Amino acid sequence: MKLYTYFRSSASYRVRIALAYKGLAHESDYVNLPKGEHREDAFRTVNAQGLVPALEDGGRVFIQSLAIIEYLEERYPKPPLLPPSPADRAYVRAVSGIIACEMHPLNNLRTLRHIRRAFKLDDEGINTWYRHWIAEGFAMLEGYLARERLAGKYCFGGMVSMADCCLVPQMFNAQRYECDLTSYPTVMRIFDECMKLEAFSATEPARQPDAA
């Protein structure tokens, strides 16, 4: 297996966690986003979308982090990252979706570059935008976790799930942009619990070879 990844990419980090949690050996191909390597032809032949992550396995290339994690789950089911019951799986997918579909796209590199150019924003303007969507997203998430009452040590009770693979990288993004996180105690507590696990800590951005 080969993972196309960038150390700061939170979507890549989701997949790094899933691979590590499932104990799946793989090689890494580092795609430098600030240098624009994801837009070059060499990478577009791997992922025509020009985004990381992408995962090669069995002669096929898989894109979109949640689809990749679901693929890994079906192909390599043990240990699981989705609970057994359909209702609980829907909950885990919903938590994952709040992060991957509602929060992440608004603060993605190309989004930030576009609004900086189109609306002539400076760093302060970008930070205000970024922190707004982190605050809104984490407030939604905190509210959903409180309403469903399914969270325990992790997003779904005592079981590590795809939802945790999404929550932790998003928290790294939020910390990088110095967001105020005091209003999200459950999200913060789950983050702290996850970071005690090797699958989350060994795959964190600063510990990746391309972070050097």
Ligand X SMILES: N[C@@H](CCC(=O)N[C@@H](CS)C(=O)NCC(=O)O)C(=O)O
100 vs 155 by CB, closer to ligand X: 100
Whole-angstrom CA distances from 122 to 83, 129, 134, 136, 212 are: 44, 11, 19, 22, 27
Is there binding between residue 150 and ligand X (CB under 6 A)?
no
Stretch that binds ligand X, among 45-53, 91-99, 176-184, 199-207 (CB under 6 A): 45-53
- Each residue 54-73 as x (binds ligand X by CB under 6 A) or -, in order, gives ----------xxx-------
Interior CA angle at 160 toward 31 and 185, to 5°?
Answer: 95
Helix-strand-coil split of the chain, %, nearest 5: 60, 10, 35
Phi, psi dihedral angles at 54 (to 5 degrees): -140, 145
Contact between residue 28 and residue 3 where contact means Cβ atoms under 8 Å apart: yes
Cis status, amide bond into 105, omega within 30 of 0: no
- As to burial, measured by CB atoms within 10 angstroms (0-12 exposed, 13-18 middle, 19+ buried), residue 190 is buried
Binders in 164-183 for ligand X, by CB under 6 A: none
Shortest distance (Å) from residue 62 CB to ligand X: 10
Shortest gap between Cβ of 162 and ligand X (angstroms)? 12
* Residue 51 in the binding site for ligand X (CB under 6 A): yes
Tell whether residue 11 is a contact of ligand X (CB under 6 A): yes
Nearer to ligand X, 166 or 187 (CB): 166
One residue of 109, 126, 181, 197 binding ligand X per CB under 6 A? 109
| Range 18-42 burial, b when 16+ CB lie within 10 A, else e | bbbbbeeebebbbbebeeebbeeee
Residue 196 identity: K
**Site stretch for ligand X (CB under 6 A), options 103-111, 126-134, 146-154, 202-210:** 103-111
Among 82, 100, 163, 167, binds ligand X (CB under 6 A): 100
Considering only the stretches 7-15, 69-77, 81-89, 188-196, report the one whose residues sit in contact with ligand X under the rule CB under 6 A. Answer: 7-15
Site residues (CB under 6 A) for ligand X? 9-11, 33, 38, 51-53, 64-66, 100, 108-110
